[in-house]
Amino acid sequence: MIEIQPTGLAADLEALAGAPAAPKGPPCTVGAFLAHADEPTAAALRVALDTPSITGKSIADTLRKYGGAVTAYTVARHRRRGESNGCRCPR
């Protein structure tokens, strides 16, 4: 059985970052694209992001055709936003 010591755990987690964690970071490139796209484009992109059968690669390839500097990895990370391995964009 693992005994969790909250004080030590918090200190260890803070040490991982080397500094107190910032509550918010800048949006990822997908979030920035959403923020700057016109509403129909942003809405279509949100639908694509929320459709699991559409791969991150095909979304990234499409955005890149229109000048978005987006990788399939960034799309996957944006889809996990809010999770520990996702980006910091709001849900």
Q: How far is the CB of 32 from Zn ion (least distance, A)?
A: 8
Q: Tokens for 32?
A: 């920035």
Q: Is 90 helix (H, G, I), strand (E, B) or coil?
A: coil
Q: What is the DSSP letter of 5?
A: -
String marking each residue 31-60 x if it binds Zn ion according to CB under 5 A: x-----------------------------
String marking each residue 6-35 x if it binds Zn ion according to CB under 5 A: ----------------------x-xx----
If one asks whether residue 63 binds Zn ion (CB under 5 A), the answer comes out as no
| Angstrom distances, CA of residue 25 to CA of 31, 75, 88 | 11, 17, 6
Distance in angstroms (rounded) separating the CA atoms of residues 60 and 43: 16
**Residues making contact with Zn ion (CB under 5 A):** 28, 30-31, 78, 81, 87, 89
